[in-house]
Amino acid sequence: MEKTFKKEKIFNFLEKVKNKMILIAPVLEDEIILFKKIKDVKEIDFSYKNSLKPANEFLFPQNEILFKFSKDKGKIELTDIDLKDNIAIFGIHPCDVRSIKIFDDVFRNDCLDKYYDERRKNTLIISLGCQNVDKTCFCTTFGIEPAESVESDISILEINNEYYLRSFTEKGDSLIKENIELFEEAKKETLSLVENKKKEVREKIKEKIKIDDVPEKMKNLFDDPIWQKISLRCIGCGICTYICPTCYCFDIRDDDLGKEGFRFRCWDSCQFADFTLHASGHNPRPTKKERQRQRYNHKLNYYPDRYKNIACVGCGRCVRYCPVNIDIREIIKEVGK
């Protein structure tokens, strides 16, 4: 379905969505954009470039309780967690939507992650096309259209004081049908304006890097000095992994409070020194060189081997936040040579 609606009507639409399910959208707080549960739709930020944490943290939270346990007189009782909440993620950009697809491949595979799966089934994705791009954005390298996400349930793009809305799934269709009075059928002129807008935003992206041969080329670079060169300045923090929308390493821990507690999953980072530390004391990735090599091989070599797509969406967060300017774009170009 393709519809348009007046700019002010967006708040009516979002109010209706909020009444039906939990609405998650980007909010500006102290110069940072965070995706939060919305109480007042007027606080949503429509013109942001990049959020701090990727929006898929609601499908794969930084802390996720797996089950609770309690001990009483020698008996242990386990309680499951209820994941039935319906949520709608609004305002997510096409790069982050692609990362949800990448997570789908990992978590909804032959080994189904039931926690991710439950949340995913109950999530509606309403993406917002980008108007402005950051100097570190390079989503077009991965075939992502910055102004429209065909992988979301509903995609919204602002054109000349109106919003153009397009749904790609049944879930999206039914939400539109429920609120049909807010929308008008999209006119032909609007559709051609949309195509122009998409081209305009696409061209704002500084460069499209040649990436097709990178996975193959990386296979011969395991012992290449490039990894030592990069790791010299790496400080071994976890910034690149924690703000990356395609990173999914996690740890499972128990928080035992005596009589009761819970088992939870938390984000972990392959860049931390003790990530691969064995109980014997041996660490197969003892220095930053091995860990940096692992990170780029995972994203550009091992992941494409298994799932076809490259595990990067070109959001540019790691480029912007790395304290020592380890730039994945630079590495892709080096490897491609």
Partner 1 sequence: MKKLREIAKELLEKKEVDLIIGYEKGTEDFWMRPCFVDNIVDIEKLTFNAFCNINLSKYILEHKDKKVAVILKGCDSKSIVVFLQEKQINKENVKIIGVPCCGIFDEDLIDKTVDYNSHPADNIKFVRERCLVCENHNPVIYDILVDDKIQEKIYKENIYEEIEKIEKKSQKEKFEFFKNVFSRCIRCLACRNICPVCFCKECLIDKQNPLWVEKKITLSDILMLHLIRAVHMGGRCIDCGGCEEFCPAKIPLRKIYKKMEKDVREMFGYVPGRNIDIPPFHSTFLKEDKDEYLKGEKGGENF
Asked if 224 is part of the footprint of partner 1 (rule: CB under 8 A), the reply reads: no
Between 13 and 242, whose beta carbon lies closer to partner 1?
242
Asked if 209 is part of the footprint of partner 1 (rule: CB under 8 A), the reply reads: no
In the set 62, 86, 132, 196, which binds partner 1 (CB under 8 A)? 62
Binding piece for partner 1, criterion CB under 8 A, among 103-111, 152-160, 187-195, 272-280: 272-280
Between 183 and 248, whose beta carbon lies closer to partner 1?
248
Q: Which amino acid is at 224?
A: D
Both tokens of 25, joined, read 């959208």
What string marks each residue from 243 to 262 as x (binds partner 1 by CB under 8 A) or -? x-------x-x-x-------
Contacts (Cβ under 8 Å, ≥6 apart) of 299? 246, 310, 311, 312, 328
Measured CA to CA, the distance from residue 215 to residue 96 in angstroms comes to: 22
Asked if 30 is part of the footprint of partner 1 (rule: CB under 8 A), the reply reads: yes
Helix (H, G, I), strand (E, B) or coil at 20: helix
* Total Cβ atoms within 10 A of residue 293: 22
In the set 112, 150, 180, 232, which binds partner 1 (CB under 8 A)? 232
Between 137 and 165, whose beta carbon lies closer to partner 1?
137
Q: CB of residue 133 vs partner 1: minimum separation in angstroms?
A: 14
Asked if 43 is part of the footprint of partner 1 (rule: CB under 8 A), the reply reads: no
Residue spans of beta strands (DSSP E) within the chain:
2-6, 22-29, 32-37, 63-72, 75-80, 87-92, 123-128, 154-159, 162-167, 184-185, 250-256, 260-267
Q: CB of residue 24 vs partner 1: minimum separation in angstroms?
A: 16
Asked if 319 is part of the footprint of partner 1 (rule: CB under 8 A), the reply reads: yes
Which residue, among 68, 85, 60, has the nearest Cα to 248 in the 3D structure?
Answer: 60
CB 55 within 8 A of CB 92: yes
Q: CB of residue 138 vs partner 1: minimum separation in angstroms?
A: 11
Q: Sign of the CA dihedral 222, 223, 225, 231? A: positive
Instruction: Name the DSSP letter for residue 186.
Output: P
Between 112 and 273, whose beta carbon lies closer to partner 1?
273
Q: CB of residue 255 vs partner 1: minimum separation in angstroms?
A: 6
Asked if 22 is part of the footprint of partner 1 (rule: CB under 8 A), the reply reads: no
Asked if 160 is part of the footprint of partner 1 (rule: CB under 8 A), the reply reads: no
H or E stretch including 324? none
Torsion, CA 26, CA 87, CA 38, CA 320, rounded to 10:
-20
Helices (H), 129-225: 170-178, 188-204, 214-218
Phi, psi (5° rounding) for residue 263? Answer: -100, 135
Q: CB of residue 152 vs partner 1: minimum separation in angstroms?
A: 25
In the set 53, 93, 166, 291, which binds partner 1 (CB under 8 A)? 53
By CB under 8 A, name the binding residues for partner 1: 29-32, 34, 52-53, 62-63, 135-136, 229, 232-233, 235-239, 242-243, 251, 253, 255, 264, 266, 268-269, 272-274, 319, 321, 323-325, 327, 329-330
